[in-house]
Amino acid sequence: MKGGLKTALYILALLVTSAGTAAAQNLVIFNARVIDGKGGVMERGAVAVRDGKIVSISVSPPAGVAGAPRINAQGLTLMPGFIDAHRHIVQGDGKEWRDKTGAAQLQEFLDAGFTTVLCAICPDEAVEMRQRIEAGTVKGPRLLLGSLIPLARAAVPGGGRGDPARFDTSRPPLRPTTPAAAIPDADTIKAVESVAARKFDYIKTVITATPGGPETRTLKLIVEEGRKRNLPTITHAVSVIDTLAAVEAMPAVLVHTPHIGRLDEDAAAVKRIAGAGIPMTSTLQVFVPHFGADNTPLFRDAQPFPWDTISSAGQGPVNARLLWQAGISYGYGTDTSWPPKQSLADELRALSLVFSPLDITKIMGQGAARSTLKPDLIGTIEVGKQADLVLIDGNPLAAVTDLLKVVTTIKGGRIVSDRRASAGRR
């Protein structure tokens, strides 16, 4: 069936069978290619939702849920709602974002198919926005929020000259050669207490291990104190050296692929990192040029791309594949502030260097869910999971860029973005 005809039939079916579904938590979707986010595919599948959760997965036609609206997908692809497990959503003043630009930005995530976003370093205003989403006064993805706690009294990378990834102290020749000054344990514990009191979901840490420095010991303390408060620690480690130092402290998540240092020359490091059983997020696009409308290669800060970092564009994917083959749980994350659809396109370019389309659907599904520490709730199409779903006008297993063709986004059984259907009604 031609793509335009398929879309037209989908719109017609949606208008006929799903009137009023924007407020529904019961739903039946059938005649869909179901890609379940953990490697399974059903060519003519049906998913039934009751009270916002998946209650059955079957071959079409479905048994259904009594009285539930029905969507005939007409062969479109159904996948778990997308998850960005490492993202920056607030730029500039937090109050201005909360009151002026945040709602529109959050709708962009829904339109691109993202139903969950982990913001690793967020201001307190993001907690307020999360509350508004949960109360239903703002539409947006599930927000999972982190707050930063330092590991040492180290200088700001780049001396505050701009995006720290441009002047990363994990990268020679800027890498420190002397130990950083320690932070008193009492101050670190107070910082953990503050993150918990402000109702964040994670502690974010950044590790650059200095010779004889305090970083790993402080990270261990943060991990321990966070566990006491049900507050997991996620750790930024971008070099092989720093990833190994982080693994010693056993944080809950490693939020970057190491892209400085060659794991193809260090099988022992591969085994040690993967063997720790800590999920890792991808964030490969940071060092892959983003091309502007005029074809200018840009960095994530929208400034000209720093070509002295380009080796990371190759080393990151290579290290990712080696860790994947060694058994690491690997999840989608971007560490960027580009609009979500643009970020998805950039991350897909990098992932596609070393992963198949089926691999990528698993990275975006169960892998990303594990990297948010929410695998029991989201990330896969399974009975009992939240009904976070996307319908895609294409087949991502044949062309992975079809992941950019989201038609409808469903969060907890409610349709939260349906732009093509809206266009069909005009």
Integer Cα distance of 218 and 253 in angstroms: 16
% pLDDT > 90, the chain? 84
Task: Report which residue type is found at 398.
Answer: A
Integer Cα distance of 143 and 83 in angstroms: 10
Which of 169-178, 201-210, 246-255 is least confident?
169-178
Tokens of 421: 């259907």
pLDDT at position 64: 64
Task: Report which residue type is found at 273.
Answer: I
Three-class secondary structure of residue 189 per DSSP: helix
CATH superfamily of 3-80+384-425: Urease, subunit C, domain 1 (2.30.40.10)
CATH superfamily of 82-372: Metal-dependent hydrolases (3.20.20.140)
Q: Which residue has the higher pLDDT, 9 or 239?
A: 239
- In this predicted structure, the answer to whether residue 426 has a pLDDT above a threshold of 50 is no
Q: Where are the alpha helices (DSSP H) in 229-373?
A: 240-249, 267-275, 311-325, 340-351, 357-362, 368-372
Q: Given pLDDT bands bounded at 50, 70 and 90, which one contains residue 91?
A: confident
Tokens of 49: 């939702």
C-alpha separations of 112 from 100, 254, 348, 366 in Å: 21, 25, 14, 19
pLDDT at position 163: 87
- In this predicted structure, the answer to whether residue 8 has a pLDDT above a threshold of 70 is no
Integer Cα distance of 6 and 24 in angstroms: 25
Express each pLDDT in 373-391 by its tens digit.
999 999 999 999 999 999 9
Nearest Cα to Cα of residue 251 among 275, 279, 230: 279
Domain boundaries, the chain: 3-80+384-425, 82-372
> How open is the CA angle 317-271-260, to the nearest 5 degrees?
40
Q: What is the mean pLDDT of the chain?
A: 91
Close Cβ partners of 303 (under 8 Å, ≥ 6 residues apart): 162, 163
- In this predicted structure, the answer to whether residue 253 has a pLDDT above a threshold of 90 is yes
- In this predicted structure, the answer to whether residue 19 has a pLDDT above a threshold of 50 is no
C-alpha 205 chain-centroid distance: 17
Express each pLDDT in 160-190 by its tens digit.
567 889 989 999 999 999 999 999 999 999 9
Express each pLDDT in 117-159 by its tens digit.
999 899 999 999 999 999 999 999 999 999 999 999 975 555 5
Structure-token match 């949960």, residue found: 134
Q: Where are the alpha helices (DSSP H) in 162-310?
A: 185-197, 215-228, 240-249, 267-275
The mean pLDDT value for 411-417 works out to 96
Integer Cα distance of 219 and 250 in angstroms: 9
Which of 59-63, 245-249, 339-343 is least confident?
59-63
Q: For helices 340-351 and 102-112, give the axis angle rounded to 10 degrees.
A: 40
Label the pairing between strands 253-254 and 233-236: parallel
- In this predicted structure, the answer to whether residue 424 has a pLDDT above a threshold of 60 is no
pLDDT at position 12: 39
